[in-house]
Structure 1
Amino acid sequence: MDIYLFAIFLLACGAAGATGALFPPGAWYKKLEKPWFTPPDWAFPVAWTSIYLLISFAGARVAVLEGNGFAMAFWAAQAGFATLWTPVFFGLRRLRGSLAVMAPLWLCVLGALVTHMQLDFWAGLAFVPYLLWVTVAAALNVQMWRLNPDVEPIKPDTL
């Protein structure tokens, strides 16, 4: 694995993760009714740090391999959708609208897992925790929307 490629992928993950700092959950989120399976607050940074390290490892392993086009496309797509979800859910408070981002995110993570696995077993395996986490996140997203139908979305002009 090329350490410079790993650093580039990790930097991309850091950029995606920065949306969490730009759009923190805030007091409105704490007031939401949450499903019983909501992880504790400390689990989110632990999970995302672990996931970012793992998928950076996966990207760096696969980036140098022949025939990596689909794997790299899925890697980039999942990063884009992961970056977009936070501002839609936390920034705009669009609980239902964020599902339109979550669905392709989940599919892109699955696509990344499969295409990375086809090229490198360890790279594919590195995406398994991410797929599990995004599956839980999707279920949380659906339940938050169902349990909190009266959340008023923020209009972009009022940000």
Structure 2
Amino acid sequence: MTGLLAGGWGPPAVAGLVALAVAVAGGIATRTDAWYRRLRVPGWKPPDWAFGPVWAVIFALTTASAVIAWNVTPDPAARTRLIFVLAVNGALNIAWSVIFFRLRRPDWAFAEVLVLWLSILAVMFVVGGASTTAALLNLPYLVWVSVAACLNLTIVRLNPPFGPRFGTV
């Protein structure tokens, strides 16, 4: 098993399964229920149906980026850094959905999305040490989360105040 994970199909399979787990966890946390539908949103908000396909492409690109970086980085310390930044990024990605949709706190989610954005830069920096192509594959992710951060902030501004009573149905 160790030989399989060191090369061949191991890295793509592991990266794909982890990306799928992050996507599923984020999807489970996302609820477009009555609370969400009552939120005032800007006219430039992408349609709800667009989020799934965009995230699918982002996860595929990020997975490819991770596999490229892993395959060209034989150094165990560099691989540990790669796993660390990707794990933090995945946790932050899931956390945003939990905070926004489950806790119903777009204000807290806005603070969290700024940290998520920084974690994408960290991913780009770490994978960029191995491959410029790997770093560039994360640009759509950075752009999408930038748009999401602007959307999140606009939702906070259009729906004040966020607090204990706002989240009740």
On whether the aligned pair clears a TM of 0.5, the verdict is: yes
TM-score of the two chains, using structure 1 as the length reference: 0.87
Q: Which residue of structure 1 lines up, in the alignment, with residue 141 of structure 2? A: 130
Q: Which residue of structure 2 lines up, in the alignment, with residue 25 of structure 1? A: 32
Matches of residues 47-58 of structure 1 in structure 2 within 5 Å? 47-58=54-65
Quote the RMSD (CA, aligned, Å): 2.0
Q: Which residue of structure 1 lines up, in the alignment, with residue 20 of structure 2? A: 14
Q: Which residue of structure 2 lines up, in the alignment, with residue 153 of structure 1? A: 167
Mapped to 2, the partners of 1:70 and 1:5 lie a distance apart of 15
Larger displacement relative to structure 2 (2-11 or 86-95): 2-11
Mapped to 2, the partners of 1:26 and 1:5 lie a distance apart of 37
Larger displacement relative to structure 2 (68-77 or 136-145): 68-77
Mapped to 2, the partners of 1:31 and 1:144 lie a distance apart of 11
Matches of residues 79-158 of structure 1 in structure 2 within 5 Å? 79-150=90-161, 152-153=166-167
State the Cα distance separating 1:3 from its structure 2 match.
3.1
**Structure 1 regions of 5+ residues with no counterpart?**
155-159
State which structure, 1 or 2, has the greater radius of gyration over its C-alpha atoms. 2
Question: What letter is aligned with 2:160?
Answer: P
Q: Which residue of structure 2 lines up, in the alignment, with residue 5 of structure 1? A: 11
State the Cα distance separating 1:2 from its structure 2 match.
4.1
Larger displacement relative to structure 2 (79-88 or 118-127): 118-127
Q: Once the two structures are superposed, what CA deviation does each residue of 1:68-111 show, in whole Å capped at 9, x if it has no partner?
A: 44333222111110011101100110011112321211000011
Mapped to 2, the partners of 1:63 and 1:146 lie a distance apart of 41
**Structure 2 regions of 5+ residues with no counterpart?**
1-6
Mapped to 2, the partners of 1:138 and 1:72 lie a distance apart of 25
Secondary structure class of the residue paired with 1:98: helix
Secondary structure class of the residue paired with 1:119: coil
Q: Percent identity?
A: 30
